[in-house]
Amino acid sequence: MGKLFGTDGIRGTANSYPIIPEVAVQVGQAVGWLFKSIGDRPRVIIGQDTRLSGDMIAHALASGVCAAGVDAELVGVLPTPGIAFITRTSGASAGIVVSASHNPYPDNGIKIFGSDGFKLPDEKETEIEDLVLDGKTFGLKPANHTIGRTGYNPRAAVQYGDFLKSCVSFDAGVCFKLILDCAHGATSEIAPRIFSELGFSVEAINVQPNGININHRCGSQHPDELVERVSAERAELGLAFDGDGDRMIAVDDRGEVISGDRVLAVIAQHLKMQARLTNNIVVSTVMSNVGLSRCLKNLGIQHRTTGVGDRYVTEGMRACGAALGGEDSGHIIFAEHHTTGDGILSGLMLIDAIRHHSKPLSKLKEVMTAFPQTLINVTVKSKPKLEHLAQVQRAIKEVESRLGDNGRVLVRYSGTEPLCRVMVEGPNREAVEALARSISQAIGEAIG
């Protein structure tokens, strides 16, 4: 992993290195330079979520792009998958998203898509990183008459919305009550509009972004309010998005939270029955619940796993030609339609399964039995290699020995935050929570 890029772009506290205008200008310049050979008139799409710092970073990126002799096209607030879509379909050279996804508002980040709408591979990120960290961007300045211009695309949201609506076909006149939690983020305007235009009875919450309330006790990370509203309103379904709209967590008609793995299972069964599950493969990460593997095996579906991050899931899907993949966190990728995780599209596809089978989600979810799983985030001061920490390794091996074949352990550092994530899965809730705490304590004593 490089010094700037983590598992999902560049991320950190806004107005602190590396999320500062000076670095953003250089990143924009590097992106413009590396992709300026694509298209007759090279152009980079730049969008953002609703964070207070978004304007600062987006305009700094645009300045850098222009300095490389490439045009910058600002699309304003738009979900991350929307920027991927506009990049892919408009002939742009690349796309940049200013967002820290599900992180709290003080953070921000920079994600980059290639002209094909896919997130950049590691080697491309390394090229950008080298140009920035080695100070080489200062030598990437064209003559004055070839400096780029900045423009704005006011129709980007409409174009993206039309695309999403084209991915599904619902019968008119069927009552379906839907609650949306938009996390005061990038889906706040577009998600309620799309579902309403498709004929659903929509109630939207957390749709008043003010720059500092994004993801605050709401959205996919905090669905408690959504659970209450679905139960109180007796809605058929609740959908919670994260700040940049690439994740979706569902709440079923009985008020139970349905994570990404169970959504994957429901949709995998649905696509297989419709003969749309290309190559009969589903891809997920090593963090996926054991119950997903067992479910897919029972359905006669192959299961492939990748490293953590929707970018790696997408790469794994492309390698084996899979139509469906995702993460338990709520990133779900539909290769038939899109190049990246899309929360709104995931919601539409889940509704498609519910309507097609004429069963509520509380019934459809029974296709998968989830193993009790707990995840503890341990704040760490540094990130030494875990295999070099004897105390931590002893704790992990002891837990693995106690679980045997009835569970698993996964310990890894976050790629975007100063955290070590401890995940334990096993036959009962109390046991996995106690075992996870024992490993977390060892980590805290070693590097906390």
CA distance 141 to 66: 9
Handedness of CA 417, 22, 121, 280 (dihedral sign): positive
Q: Are 341 and 333 in contact (CB under 8 A)?
A: yes
Name the active-site residue from 53, 93, 101, 115: 101
Q: Inter-axis angle of helices 80-89 and 343-357, to 10 degrees?
A: 100
* Residue 265 vs residues 17, 105, 377: alpha-carbon distances, Å: 40, 32, 26
Secondary structure of residue 257 in the 3-state scheme: strand
Buried b / exposed e across 434-448, counting CB within 10 Å, b at 16+? ebbeebbbbbeebbe
* Half-sphere exposure at residue 81, Cβ-oriented, CA atoms within 13 angstroms: 31
**Burial group, residue 166, by CB count within 10 angstroms (0-12, 13-18, 19+):** exposed
List strands edge to edge, sheet with 150-152.
Answer: 5-6, 9-13, 107-114, 94-98, 43-48, 71-77, 150-152
CA distance 42 to 63: 15
Residues 6+ apart with CB under 8 A from 379: 418, 419, 448
CA distance 420 to 382: 10
Question: For this structure, is 101 an active site residue?
Answer: yes
Q: Are 182 and 192 in contact (CB under 8 A)?
A: yes
What does the DSSP assignment read for 293-310?
A: HHHHHHTT-EEEEE-SSH
Catalytic residues: 101
